[in-house]
Amino acid sequence: MAGILFIISAPSGSGKSTLVSEVRKQLRGIDFAVSWTTRAPRGSEQPGREYNFTTREEFERMIAAGKFLEYAEVYGKDLYGTPRKSLEDARAAGHDLVLDIDVQGAAQIRAKMPEAVTIFVLPPDPRQLRTRLRNRARAEGVVNDDEIFRRLGEARREIENYREYGYILINDVLDRAVAQLEAIVQAERFYRNAEPIAYRQSRVLEVAAACLIKNAQERLKPVLEAFGIDGSSGQQQLPFGDDPDDD
């Protein structure tokens, strides 16, 4: 059976790693592509689990050797890339593959593999995004306010690309967002591979359909507005309004 390629993008701190790891506990046959990056490990991150860490020189050698399915410089700072091997391994095993990559990487993959399922995850608003970035940094014992502030600043620019994705997931209540991502995976397996859904099939398909971008506009509008994006035109409206120091 052909494996399905899922691309998940979101502003950093939206919760996509959390969602993917929860769904992988519930559903079998989903591989996660461990990317290469030139950034330093954060907190409890372990080489080969969250990322493969390397130097810029080595990364550039890997680019020249054609090792990446896609790569990009993210936040104008570090290089991140998806190893080709992750797709080859998932295909050989007949597994689905999840790529957690930024909007530039997603555009590269979409151009090569238009059949990929694309999911954009949004935090409910900038304030909660900031709280999540801070909480994660505290839990990892590395609070770097400049880094948090830069990632917050990038969030709106990334969110402006939401229209390029097939599904929209608003990660407000974690359990609900996990159930939605699970439903999307099950629905895609059902429609593409005729894989039966063991439990509450019509409900699962309904939950997944509600996350299709065309059906998510009403829920999306207040989130876009909170980030200063006009939900109807996608144009930037307001500067990033929140004071970074008022929690």
Residue 72 β-bridge partners: 80
Residue 239: is it exposed, middle or buried by C-beta count within 10 angstroms (0-12/13-18/19+)?
A: exposed
**Is residue 37 involved in binding ligand ADP (CB under 6 A)?**
no
Q: For residue 220, what are its two tokens?
A: 């999306």
For residue 123, the minimal CB distance to ligand 5GP (Å) is: 13
Q: Tokens for 9, please give them.
A: 């993008």
Of 66-74, 87-95, 130-138, 207-215, which segment contacts ligand ADP by CB under 6 A?
A: 130-138
DSSP annotation of 164? G
One of 9, 35, 38, 171 touching ligand ADP (CB under 6 A) = 171
Establish if 189 lies at the interface with ligand ADP (CB under 6 A). Answer: no
Q: How far is the CB of 26 from ligand 5GP (least distance, A)?
A: 21
Q: Does 101 bind ligand 5GP (CB under 6 A)?
A: yes
Give the DSSP letter of residue 187.
Answer: H
Strand order in the sheet with 167-170: 30-32, 96-100, 5-9, 117-122, 167-170
* Binding segment (CB under 6 A) for ligand 5GP, from list 69-77, 114-122, 208-216, 220-228: 69-77
Residue 4 contacts residue 189 (beta carbons within 8 Å): yes
- Binding pattern to ligand ADP, positions 8-27, x when CB under 6 A? --x-xxxxxxx---------
DSSP state letters, 200-226: -HHHHHHHHHHHBGGG-HHHHHHHHHH
The span of 99-107, 202-210, 213-221, 226-234 binding ligand 5GP (CB under 6 A) equals 99-107
**What is the rounded CA–CA span in Å between residue 141 and residue 39?**
17
Q: Which of 19, 23, 30, 105 binds ligand 5GP (CB under 6 A)?
A: 105
Distance CA 228, CA 54 (A): 36
In the bound state with ligand ADP, the residue whose beta carbon lies nearer, of 44 and 135, is 135
Q: Give the interface with ligand 5GP as residue ranges (CB under 6 A).
A: 12, 35, 39, 70-72, 74, 80-82, 100-102, 104-105
